[in-house]
Amino acid sequence: MSKKISQREARHLRKRVAELERRNEQNASVWAREYIGGVHVATVTISDVSHAICKTARKLGHAVVAVQSDNGKFELSLYAVKP
């Protein structure tokens, strides 16, 4: 059987959960140079348009994944992925 908690404690815990969720949202939406759990393998210079695309995706909370094109050209396709 679980222990009952008071209304006061329940309100305190609801506020704490809301605060932690708000912080988590903020952390997910900030620009991050490194991706948690990812491995940095290279740095490349990109165009202004590609930079804006990546910056927009990151501000929306997405990770940007680059995939080499399979058509034999030296191209990268950029994907916005929701972690």
**Can you give the pLDDT of all 83 residues of the chain as single tens digits?**
688 999 999 999 999 999 998 887 776 666 566 666 777 788 889 899 999 998 888 888 888 888 888 888 888 899 998 87
Model's pTM, two decimal places? 0.52
Task: Return phi, psi of residue 34, to 5°.
Answer: -120, 150
> Would you state the structure tokens that stand for residue 73, as one six-digit string?
């050209």
Please, which contacts does 16-25 make with residues 24 or more away whose CB atoms are closer than 8 Å?
none
Q: CA-to-CA distance for 13 and 7, rounded, in angstroms? A: 10
Angle at 73 between CA 72 and CA 74, to 5 degrees: 125
